[in-house]
Structure formats: structure tokens, C-alpha cells
Structure 1
Amino acid sequence: MPIPRRLQRRAFAVTAAGALGLGASRLRGADIDRPFHGVRSIGIDLRELRGRCRAYLPRMRGPEVFSHSTAALLYEIPLPAELEAAPTLHVSSTDDGRPRAVGVTGHRIKRMLRRDDRGLPLASPADTWCQLATQLSLDDLIAAGDAFVSGRLVARGFRVAPLCTRDELRAAIGRHRPARGTAKLGEALEHVRTGVDSRRETHTRLTIVRSGLPEPVIAAPVVVLGGVVLHPDLSYPELKIAIEYEGEEHRLDAARWRDDIARRRALESAGWIVIRVTIADLRAPGGFLADIRAHRRRRLAH
């Protein structure tokens, strides 16, 4: 028996199968997936996070939302690789019942705001950030906060609207009290900044500040030859020193590599010193921090 077209790319409760025209024997067909107990799905990619969330919808009750790292990833917030790859869904409820299912970590949270995102109920961006306090280190919590308040960079100098503001993060901390992680959230908020492009850029900034150096400016505008405006990741504009974080994608993407070379050449032609930082430098930061100090001393001496 062919699957009715109206059921393609859908998930449904087994108890609703009869009304949808599917008998018990048809539910055992190889073309019907069993993502969760009591749920069947057809044509949904269960390898993809949004697909798994869509498949879980038939089990969700009114007070439940996707939360924690699940919501953060749906908001496209960069997280450590182990969380990005984790198959488990995080679901929170504001009533007395804690969501329970194989493949799901359930939470009970007394107060939180919610947002619908393309048909999926999520904890609000600010509440999601608070929930991450139990999953992330302090530095990655700051990086997530940066991403929430910065807006994703879609082209050079252009961003989508931020998901929330620092004031909304602060208000969410108030809702979060006295839950675990509140102290960490308060400390993290002090270091959250806008205009940040990547998780590693945040780590670079924190490494610099913790070494005792002044906090660099994020994405300061620099006019170079031809009136082109560039925005170094981090910089000391008054000294014309730029610090650029370069991930593996910079090396592996030929077009980006060429753009990086042209960008550095343009900055240096305008009298700037460019210090490039990689993941190896963040793991052993003594070298690039010494370079920053040496260049600052020389520039300040003139």
C-alpha cells in the first residue's frame, strides 16, 4: 500500500495511524521510521537535528520546548564539537512533568520564555543561553553569549539581527535564579560583547585580556587603499595592530585563503601590523602574546 501524499515528511503518533489510513501491519513497513516510542515518521531525515526535533513533536505537550544545546544549535549558535555531534535532544517543561523518552534528556524549568522557530517550540534565546551554563565551560558560555547578541555574519560587514540583547540575557539570569549555574552566568555576562564572528575569536580575546593586555576592539572599521573598509577580528586601532583568528577553513577554502592574503596585504599597506592566531596558538599562547606585547611597545615608543 503506497503512503498517502499528505503523510510524506511527517511524524505522527501511532494512536493516530488508523485515522490517517494506516493499519497496524502497514506501520511495520520498511519505509516508515520509528524515531521515538509511540511515534512513526515518513521521509524525515533523522540524521539532522531539525529532523529529529520534528519527529519528536507528536510526543510534546503544551508546556514543553526544545532547550539547552538542542535549542542553541537550532538557533545556529556555535558549540563545542561534542555537543554539536550529540544525538540526544534536550526538552524542558515548565510544569511538574519532566519529559522522558529514549534519546531525550528531560528538564523541568520553572520560568522561561518561549519562541516558535519554523514550527518548533524553543526556549527563548536568552533562556537558552542560561540553560547552557550547565553544559559549557565559562569561555564557551561567553562565546555563546557573544553569538546570541552579535547576529550571524552573512557577508562582509552585514549581519542578521541579533537573537537577543545583553539586557535580555541579564533578565533571563533573573528568571534562572536560583538554579545551578547562576554565578557562572553572571561572570560570563561581564565578558559578553557584540560584533563577534566566531567562537575562537572569543577565545582569542579572552586569552589576550587574561594575560594582562588591554582588551582589543572588536571589528573596528579600517579604511584601506581605494576606500575599502575592513574589519579586523580584534585590534588596537590607535596603534594600528590587528589580531586575526584563522581556523582550518581559512586554509582549506582556496577562495577564503586568497581573500585572507589580500586582506592582510591591504592592512599592511595601510601601515597596520597583522598578527595571525591559530588553534595551536590558543593552546600555547605565549608566542602570539609576546608578539602583541613587542609590537605594542614599539608602537608606543614612537
Structure 2
Amino acid sequence: MSGHPATVPPQLSVEPFSGSRAIAAGLVTRRMLNGPAWRHLLHDVYVHTDSYDPDDHRMWCLAVAARLPRNAAIYGLSAAYLWGVDLLPHRKRAVPVYVAVPNKARPDPHPRIRYANLILDLDNDITSLTGMPVTTEVRTAFDLGRSLPRADALVALDAILRRRTCTTAALAAYVDVHPGRRGVRQVRELLTLAEPLSESPMESRLRLLLHDAGLPKPTPQYEIRSPASNGGVRFVARVDLAYPQWKIAIEYEGDHHRARAVFRRDVTRFNALRAAGWLALRFTADDVLRRSGQLVQTVRQAIAERAG
């Protein structure tokens, strides 16, 4: 509970705000802002001390939005975060807010803000999201797809497309009308590989590894069924990636699979896959990130054995 309830207007108690505007509106005084009830975030931007969280990226986005110049917008990883796609590092305290500003803008530098000079169409590239100027989902996907390292860019595209409010067709159309932008070749390539059904960053990276190795394209989130004793069919499992023609299932195993209850379910599940005639290949983050050559060879060998 705040120790200064009488001095905290409700409209200033939760989100960051412009100090000069609050003073002009008669909500606070400069002396009050300098007191213990408020935290100073950026130049002329404050937040109530009870709402201050240094790891809250949305709080920092709101703080930045309170001082953005015209035609500027939150973009890139920060825009994706606000759209519900969290691609930021797990520990967000040192992560800056990514801001796109017009080419001639020269805003004051700040360690919590990373500026980029970009050409944004005010009508088509910027929208308002909970009161903040943010690049649209399509523009956000376009920027991440062309600026991030290739594997990270595919992770971003998969995650944004998974929301279903930004489609592959819409992004492809945007790319077609912006052919000369830097990095557009990477976006075009990754659009042919992007998969809205991908459910995790490591699944996206695993899929890209298989593609780059020249292996056949697997089917994502494949439901395996087998004949039941009553003459019908029964559901066996849904696997991350599959080669149905060879009955090969490929699974990414995150850390949560180490939990005892999950491990027990996994044992039952993989025994069921084996009984249905499927070969299940299980890989971890170390396999994807550090032993990719061995991973590819394992999949290649499994295909050769099953196809032969």
C-alpha cells in the first residue's frame, strides 16, 4: 500500500506519464514529483513508485511513448513484445526500447532507448496500441525478418504468424511493394520457410537446420493415429515435426521435460509411438545449438534406413 494515498491522483498511479503535462493539468506539482512517491524514468517522465519495476519492458515502452516525436514509433523487438510476441532476453532489465524515428530526427540519446532512422508511412506502418505509437504487425514482422540474424528472424516470423492476425500473404504483399529495402532478400527467403504452426523458437531453429542441410521438409504438429482394436482409429500423439511417409517423428525436448510427471508421460507417449511403428527422434537445445551436425546426421541416417 502506498504511503502517500492523498497525493497520488488515480490517473497517475499506474502508468508512466509526462511530468510537465501532469503539472499543467494541475494533477501534481514539481515539488511533489521530486518526492518519494515517484520514480524518475526518463527526461520529464515519471511513474508511481508502487508501479515501478525495472524488468517491466511494457513500463519502459510506455515511458518512451510519453516523449516520442511525431512520426516516431516503437518498433522491432519492442513492438513484437507489445503485440504479444516476446522475443526479448529472459532478463529484461538492460533491454532497451527499440524506437524508429524519421530520418532527420536527432533525439537525445539514452541508455534505455535504441533509436533507428526508418521511413515509416504514418497511415500504413504505425498504429496505436494501448495508447502507444507502434509499428503494425506486418511492419514489425518485415523489420525483424530483414534485420535479425537469419535463424532469429525465422523465429520471429513464425511467432508473429502464429498469432493469425498477421498472415503470410499480407507480409508477402508488403514485401512486394517495398522491394528496395535493405534485407528484403532475407525476408523473401524466410517467407517460404515460415510456419505459423511452429510452437517454439527451438522448433523453428530445428526446422531451419533440416532445410539448410537439404533434408525433406517435415510436417509440423502432425497428429499420429493408428488402427484401434474396435476397427476404428485411435489418437497416438501429436509430434513437433514428422515425416509421415517414413513414420519418423522429431521432437524438441525443453527443460520442462525433466520434471518427473512430464518424464513419466513422455515414456508412455514414446512407447505408444513405437508400438504404432514410429521412430521418435528426440533433441535438446544443445543438439540444436551446439551439435547441429550430429543432429542432421541422425535425421539423415534415420531417413535412409526407413526409406531403404
TM-score between both structures, scaled by the size of structure 2 = 0.83
2:161 corresponds to:
149
Q: 2:294 aligns with which of 287, 291, 301?
A: 287
Separation in structure 1 between the aligned mates of residue 94 and residue 147 of structure 2, nearest angstrom: 12
Aligned partner of 1:45 in structure 2 is 53
CA distance in 1, matches of 2:115, 2:72: 10
Return closer, same or farther for 1:76/1:21 CA change in 2, 3 Å cut-off: closer
Query: Are residue 127 (structure 1) and residue 139 (structure 2) matched?
Result: yes
TM-score normalised to structure 1 length? 0.84
Q: CA deviation at 1:233?
A: 0.8
CA contact (8 A) 2:41 2:47 kept: yes
> What's the CA shift string for 1:219-258, capped at 9, x where partnerless?
122125682363211110111100001122322x444433
Conserved 8 A contact 1:66-1:92: yes
Distance 2:88 2:42 in 1: 26
Residue 27 of structure 1 aligns with which residue? 33
String of CA shifts for 1:139-166, please: whole Å, max 9, x gaps.
1111211112223xxxxxxxxxx13111
Give, in angstroms, the shift of residue 83 of structure 1. 9.3
Structure 2 spans left out of the alignment, 5+ residues = 1-5
Asked if structure 2 preserves the Cα contact closer than 8 Å seen for 1:11 and 1:57, the reply is no
Q: Does 1:265 find its partner at 2:274?
A: no
What secondary structure does 1:40 align onto?
strand
Q: How many Å separate the matches in 2 of 1:8 and 1:77?
A: 27
Change (3 A) 1:269 1:78: farther
Q: Does 1:72 align with 2:86?
A: no
Task: Give the 3-state SS of the residue equivalent to 2:299 in structure 1.
Answer: helix
SS state at 1:81 partner: coil
5+ residue gaps in structure 1? 152-161
The equivalent position to 1:180 in structure 2, one of 182, 186, 211, is 182
1:105 aligned onto 2:128: no
Contact kept, 8 Å, 1:44 with 1:55, in 2: the verdict is no
- What is the Cα deviation at residue 71 of structure 1? 0.8
CA distance in 1, matches of 2:155, 2:127: 22
AA in 1 matched with 2:113: V
What is the aligned residue count? Answer: 290
Which residue of the partner structure matches residue 2 of structure 1?
A: 7
Alpha-carbon deviation of 1:263?
2.6
The Cα shift of 1:76 comes to 3.5
Structure 1 residue aligned with 2:22: 17
Q: Distance in 1 between matches of 2:19 and 2:249?
A: 59
Of residues 37, 62, 68 in structure 2, which corresponds to 1:54?
Answer: 62
The alignment partner of 2:204 has SS state of helix
| Structure 2 counterpart SS, 1:91 | strand
Question: Are 2:245 and 1:245 aligned?
Answer: no
Contact 2:85 2:159 in 1 (8 A): yes
* Worse-matched range after superposition: 61-70 or 287-296: 287-296
What secondary structure does 1:69 align onto? helix
CA–CA separation in structure 1 for the residues paired with 2:282 and 2:93:
29
How far off is 1:262 after superposition?
A: 3.1
CA distance in 1, matches of 2:17, 2:281: 54
Contact residue 146 and residue 196 of structure 1 kept, 8 A: yes
CA contact (8 A) 1:65 1:123 kept: yes
Aligned residue number for residue 157 of structure 1: none
Name the SS of the counterpart of 1:10 in structure 2.
coil
Is the contact made by 1:142 and 1:202 (CA closer than 8 Å) also made in structure 2? yes
**Aligned residue identity for 1:230:** A
Give the letter aligned to residue 298 of structure 2.
D
2:61 partner amino acid: C
What is the aligned partner in structure 1 of residue 218 from structure 2? 216
Displacement after TM superposition at 1:205 (Å):
1.2
Secondary structure, aligned partner of 1:275? strand
Instruction: Write out per-residue CA displacement over residues 250-271 of structure 1, whole angstroms, 9 at most, x where no aligned residue.
Output: 22x4444333333322222221
